Structure 1
């Protein structure tokens, strides 16, 4: 059996490059559409999270705006290699709301007059809560 000549190797490489050129776009476009679908689904959740973070940074406590079912829907769309990080971020978000120390606004700011804010709460440990929420913010900002 004779060794392959240079022209034969060039032909084999040309066939391989053509095969890769045919197959590669399929994998690239599939991944891109999945990522776009995930970004579209995550956008409303990220908006709610940013509202919560803004409120906490301002000193008030907004309670939880994101339902666990919304996060589970996103978890199903998350690629396998990112799923573990996303699960961790969800747990940190839930824990952030569990550790939040709140007081009613009127307890912190007593008033002699008739002014009363029935649903206004202030947060006493915003830094701790924001650190835990930052994990979810990072994971939703794809």
Structure 2
């Protein structure tokens, strides 16, 4: 598995609130360009986000499926983008000091042409993409958290 991590200046439950809203997916997942639908019970195991991958008009319509979830701490997804393949993506949220979260994002190609590439080659693509995804997630989480705190004041 290829893993990246990032510290976000909010508690794990705040990060999970953003992950638990499937409509946020295209806002932080690099390559996801459009959300068509989110199953009502997202992020329950087996629920799906129906999304497009890639730029218009060449985008591919596919789904991401929840494989496992521990609310507030862990989310495992099967991210699909055929004909490119599928990957298991694990997001682990760990408390990191006072009011902060270490988000670990691990990815493993499970199907498709990418599975046959050496892990070092996969890492050349996945590490920068997933580092950017966590940067986007951090911005989304901290922005929503700041707006929520301001609304409560």
Q: TM-score category by the smaller chain?
A: under 0.3
